[in-house]
Amino acid sequence: MEFRTLGRTGVKVSPLCLGTMMFGAWGTPDHDESIRIIHRALDAGINFVDTADVYSSGESEEIVGKALAQTTREKIVLATKVHGAMGRDPNAQGNSRRWIMSACEKSLRRLGTDYIDLYQIHRPSPDTDIDETLGALTDLVRSGKIRYFGSSTFPADDIVEAQWVAERRGRERFVTEQPPYSMLVRGIEADVLPRCQQFKMGVLSWSPLAGGWLSGAFGQGKDNTSRRSAMVPAHYDMTLPGNVEKLSAVTALHELAEGASLSMIELALGFVLEHPAVTSPIIGPRTMEHLESQLPALEVRLSGDVLDRIDEIVPPGTNLNAADVGWVPAAIADSSLRRRPR
């Protein structure tokens, strides 16, 4: 396996990162089976594992910790995230120093380790000064509890601001970004990915299969639904024009994959792996079968003709469904911010 360098850190990571959101109550409740999936990924050469405190309310981190206890911890590049609400306490969430310091200690205990390789801010927090966040993360680096830190689903302007603040305030800086990216969700090609290249940030992109849309389970004549439909209905509701467009694109992409003698999964992962800004797409298997269907992508290299055809089906920089972007700025989500007080 040809390992890739994570941004400018010098750390070598596998081209695929194992995501563990589906381990625990949100996906596979059987801890032993989840651990077997993790070990199979490690045996296949994957050395990059990503989780988050909010996944199944900490259960995913606990499962990862159990799996790591059965292997050589130093060989694994371990990433987790902070931001999501962990209970009813209004201060047990967000990007404040108070919560980051507390959440890190809790993640370390659940993971059964004394350090985290990559600690990521899961989403922006407009009500928290970015210098507050960077200051807390810098202290965690200097105390040895984390090695590096990164952002997740940050818009391009927030990425730039964080870099500038870090330089001016003498803070450590975000070394990675974790954005949504797939053949159906390409908006970050216009701004986020170029900024990551500008600042030499590593990119571990999430949802390369577009929440299952590119798994082979969607297309003409299929059920076109997902077990996640109840959790995120806007991603799958076929009355929404964006999802109708996705179905049309998936049908064309399926024909392209067949013509190239590839599975839809291989086409989808091969597309993300091809972008020069992307270090490692995150795969999120729920079952061993899912993992085995994704591992062959490590051997895939898409031709220029195939990539050109993908661009024709879904133009570069396009998000077919705006609901798939993962985070909407308050200026868009809150109509009161666009209206003068009365």
3-state secondary structure of 335: helix
How many CB atoms within 10 Å of residue 31? 15
Residues 21/283, Cβ–Cβ less than 8 Å: no
Structure tokens at 206: 């999430």
Q: CA-CA distance, 55 to 159, in Å (whole number)?
A: 24
Q: Among 55, 119, 181, 236, which one carries the catalytic annotation? A: 55
Q: Is 115 among the residues known to form the active site?
A: no
Q: Are strands 77-82 and 48-50 parallel, antiparallel or unpaired?
A: parallel
Structure tokens at 212: 């299952």
Closest to 234 measured CA to CA, from 306, 172, 316, 324: 324
Three-state SS sequence of 27-96: CECCHHHHHHHHHHHHHCCCCEEECCCCHHHHHHHHHHHHHHCCCCHHHCEEEEEECCCCCCCCCCCCCC
3-state secondary structure of 104: helix
Q: Which whole-number Å values give the CA distances from 215 to 142, 153, 209, 231, 309, in the listed order?
A: 42, 22, 6, 19, 19
Closest to 224 measured CA to CA, from 255, 252, 248: 248
Closest to 14 measured CA to CA, from 206, 298, 334: 298
The residues assigned a catalytic role are 55
